[in-house]
Structure 1
Amino acid sequence: MFIKQQDIVVALKFTLGGDLLSYAELGRELGMSASEAHAAVRRLDEARLVEPESKIVRRDVLMKFLVHGVPYAFPARTKEVTRGMPTAWAAPTLADKFQISGQMSPVWPAPDGTVQGVAVKPLYPSVPGAAQRDSALYEMLSLVDAIRIGRARERQLAEKELSNRLKPHAA
């Protein structure tokens, strides 16, 4: 069985305490069905990204996968100009760390978006809604996008920020 994009979203939610939710609650918060959430947890278990019994995320393994696997398994490219929700280095998590002039911000296309920028396909279609409901998840997902689409400098800073958030004491 292969990892799917939504599994990464579930794993990140788990690092933020989502492992305490029922599958129905997890699905509701992430904009997916309870059966999709359950299947994602099963795949995470098979991929050894979570502990089999407790469903606690193996943070060091997840970090390695986010940095070395996600950009290749789930690549993203910037597309047309649209309105949306800022992601990657344009999201609040990294925005104050970069002075990028003459370049449009990467955004997840969203009808109620407040920023005009270049479209980036989110890991999973429900990501913008889930990010609006959970600011900590938004931070994590935007850092993953910086790894997926960023240049060396953006990727390096995103890796550092993600690593800090995924440290066991951050739980």
Structure 2
Amino acid sequence: MQLKPQDFLVALKLVAWSGQRWTYAALAHALGLSTSEAHACVKRGLQAGLLAVNALEAAVHGAVAAHEPGAIYRLARRTRLSASELTQVVGGDNPARANPRNLAEFAVHGAKYAFPAEKLGLTLGVPTSHSAPAFAGVFAPGSDAMVWPHAEGAVRGIGLRPLHPSVPYAAMQDAKLYEMLALFDALRAGRARERGMAAQRLAALINPTQEVAHG
């Protein structure tokens, strides 16, 4: 099993949704993916440990998780789901959530190597990295603008190929997702001062209750 860029995108979207209920159709629509692709992303995210099971359907547990809170924690201690359980999870609504510790560690220390930055020429696009609206006044001025190339973009800057082609669309629908994606771009394509700040902020957004070592 090999993680794909859209798997990381889905995991960040589940962070942005902060535990709210969702369906695969809603997830797919929000990210510009097909429903089948959203299913596959969640399945790979669970296998990789970037996502965690939210609750199994009654057919798997024999009881609704809402009436048995401990079920979630018992399941979370298991290292691997059986094939039949994974099929049940991926087939239901609201089946998974981000695994904050693992996802923050991957986002800060691994994702930039798994999905390296690819800079393009000057182009019009949607601001990202230190140029994103969320970071106005945060990053030091003086850097050239960095953008995701986009036909409807209004900012000229250095093009950066997005994590996935649907990223500009998805980011413009969700401010928190936009912030995390721009931070990831700063982490993988920014200068040293931008990378350090991005690592701290991205880790805090994904896993606010626990620090992630930087370096």
TM-score (norm 1): 0.92
Deviations 1:112-154 (A, max 9, x none): 1111001101001010011111111111110111111112211
Q: Match for residue 77 of structure 1?
A: 118
Aligned-residue Cα RMSD (Å) equals 1.5
Identity percentage over the alignment? 44
Which residue in 2 is equivalent to 1:63? 104
2:52 is aligned with what amino acid? E
Label 1:9 to 1:18 Cα distance change in 2 as closer, same or farther (>3 A): farther
What is the aligned partner in structure 1 of residue 16 from structure 2? Answer: 16
Is residue 2:131 matched to residue 1:130? no
Pairwise mapping of residues 17-166 of structure 1 onto structure 2 (< 5 A)? 17=17, 20-54=21-55, 55-101=96-142, 103-166=143-206
Kept in 2: contact 1:78–1:120 (CA 8 A): yes
Deviates more, 1:158-167 or 1:111-120: 158-167
One-letter identity of the residue aligned with 2:121: E
TM-score (norm 2): 0.74
Q: Look at both structures and tell me which one has the larger radius of gyration over its CA atoms.
A: 2
Q: Which moved more, 1:53-62 or 1:1-10?
A: 53-62
- Number of equivalenced pairs: 168
Runs of 4+ in 1 over 3 A off after TM superposition: none
User: Mind listing any 5+ residue stretches in structure 1 that lack a counterpart?
Assistant: none
- Shift of the 18–32 alpha-carbon distance from structure 1 to 2, 3 Å rule, reads farther
Find the residue that maps to 1:129 and give its secondary structure: helix
Tell me: CA distance 1:144–1:106, structure 2 relative to 1, closer, same or farther (3 Å): same
Conserved? CA contact 1:18–1:26, under 8 Å: no
5+ long unaligned stretches in structure 2: 56-95, 210-215
Contact preservation (8 Å) 2:104, 2:207: no
Deviation at 1:53, TM superposition (A): 4.8
Range with bigger deviation, 124-133 or 145-154: 145-154
